[in-house]
Structure 1
Amino acid sequence: MISIIIPVYNQAKKLIKTLESINSQSWRDYEVIIVNDGSRDKVEEIFTAYFKDLQTENSYLFINQKNLGAPAARNRGAREAKGDFLFFCDADATLEPTALEELVAALQTNPEASYAYPSFHWGRKLFKVGPFDQEKLMSGPSIHTMALIRRSDFPEAGWDESIKKFQDWDLWLTMLANGKYGVWVDKVLFRVTPGGVYSSWLPSFAYKLLPFLPVVKKYQAALKVIKEKHALDQIAQ
């Protein structure tokens, strides 16, 4: 079974589209765990109304917690998860109907891989991501959050709740240090629709690929934190 964990913070309207895409999955063996990270909108009310009319045999769990950040919300969901696979899904992403099926197939075909990640669309821009490359991963963010992870290979400590940015990069580096790596699915399996000037979901490595965004400068300090934690500068030398 796949445990789909969705951290939510003030994204009530977007969440419903995400849930609809999950309910349309060809792979039916899953549970959904939604962690409301102290939202100020009516996310619980909107979810309750949606779930009331939802015809499904799948388990749905809605958890409220104070605002502790996405890593803490993901960890809370992981603690409640019952599946053999973990899928951390963002609340403003919509999945292609075969997304879960394709990711499971990739891990079945590659039993030595700990997680499977696909290409995706961010607005009109295609992010192909590419095959797993250890050196590329160590040089900068290159794999997004929405990968299917074997529960048995997920770090016992979970997501580092002290990391404010690039939490996905930090997780993959931690797993790499434990001898775990991923496999790329060369298909677009989800889509993010940006809102305003740039999406609040903007993937970590987009800050490197889209340098024209003004928010990029604010992330330089975050990069330094990750590099120091994993001693990446020392390794490069």
Structure 2
Amino acid sequence: MEKELISIITPTYNREKTLIRVYDSLCKQSYKCIEWIVVDDGSRDKTKELISSLINQKNKPFPIKYVYQKNSGKHVAVNKGLEIAGGGYVGILDSDDALFDNALETLMGYWNAMTPQEKKEFKSVTGRVANAETGELIGPKNKLKLIDCSSLEARFVRKMGYEKWGLSRTEVMREFQSPNIEGLHFYPENITYDAIGRKYKERFVEDVVRKYYLNSSDSIIKNKRAVVKKIIIYGYIILMMYSIIFYTILKSFSNHLSGWQEMGFFQEEGYHIS
């Protein structure tokens, strides 16, 4: 049986020192039918030179696509990667992370075990993440080896808000791309995933697939200023979303009141709706 192509998208910004870790990780995969898409979000280091040298290798183990864009944010870079992805399945692998050697084969095993109809109901098969240095699992261990539910249920009901990584159907990710708003360099991933969760399920498995470099000098978790900024922006976006919803409801109610007034429902003396 011919294997499905997997597209691995790596959005990156000034990560020339850790990108080779991603590349080495993909080279070691037991599942070989992959392509690597590197979307450079306006890097000012030697990212372009590094990726160009890998592309120009004579016997590279998989195709590599490189795209450069002006600094616009990770969500825009992911959108760009999705546009050119050739695989039926896609994984978003950050530029400072790595996969365990059997990660892709493990996740595709779960996908291949589904019937065609079952596949249509799911967005992704999602595995666990472990600390690269200690091997310790990120988050508590689940009693169930396999859980089928939405990302919303996983996070809010089952309390599975810890780090995870999975392979998604490319068509689903394209259906729910993050908005490309000029000047907005950060868009919370959870907003997109929550929208997907209202339509599709995820299959959560206990297999460990991704390495998390918690203590890396390049780790985003060390950048406290960036984290605070993201929290503020996230809160602002949510506030604006609820403001729009509240305004829409208020506008609709006002229109109804005006219609009732014209129909003569409010004719008592001293009662007037402007």
- Shorter-chain TM-score tier: 0.7 to 0.9
Q: Go from structure 1 to structure 2 and tell me whether the alpha carbon gap of 1:10 and 1:220 turns closer, same or farther (over 3 Å shift).
A: closer
Matched residue, 2:206: 186
- Decide whether the 8 Å contact of 2:139 with 2:163 is kept in 1: no
Matches within 5 A, 1:1-237: 1-53=5-57, 55-110=59-114, 111=119, 112-122=121-131, 124=134, 126-128=137-139, 131=147, 132=149, 134-138=152-156, 142=161, 144=163, 146-162=165-181, 167-177=188-198, 179-193=199-213, 194-196=215-217, 199-200=219-220, 202=221, 218-225=229-236, 227-228=238-239
Identity over aligned pairs, percent = 23
Question: RMSD of aligned C-alpha atoms?
Answer: 3.1
State how far apart, in whole Å, the 1-side matches of 2:228 and 2:42 are: 27
Q: Which runs of 5+ in 1 are unaligned?
A: 204-212
Equivalences, count? 220
Q: Which runs of 5+ in 2 are unaligned?
A: 246-274
Q: Go from structure 1 to structure 2 and tell me whether the alpha carbon gap of 1:126 and 1:113 turns closer, same or farther (over 3 Å shift).
A: same
State how far apart, in whole Å, the 2-side matches of 1:5 and 1:143 are: 21
Q: Go from structure 1 to structure 2 and tell me whether the alpha carbon gap of 1:225 and 1:214 turns closer, same or farther (over 3 Å shift).
A: closer
TM-score normalized by structure 2? 0.68
Bigger shift: residues 135-144 or 88-97: 135-144
State how far apart, in whole Å, the 2-side matches of 1:80 and 1:216 are: 30
Tell me the CA shift for residue 95 of structure 1. 0.6
- Decide whether the 8 Å contact of 1:15 with 1:92 is kept in 2: yes
Q: Go from structure 1 to structure 2 and tell me whether the alpha carbon gap of 1:81 and 1:214 turns closer, same or farther (over 3 Å shift).
A: closer
| SS class of match (1:135) | helix
Tell me the CA shift for residue 161 of structure 1. 3.9
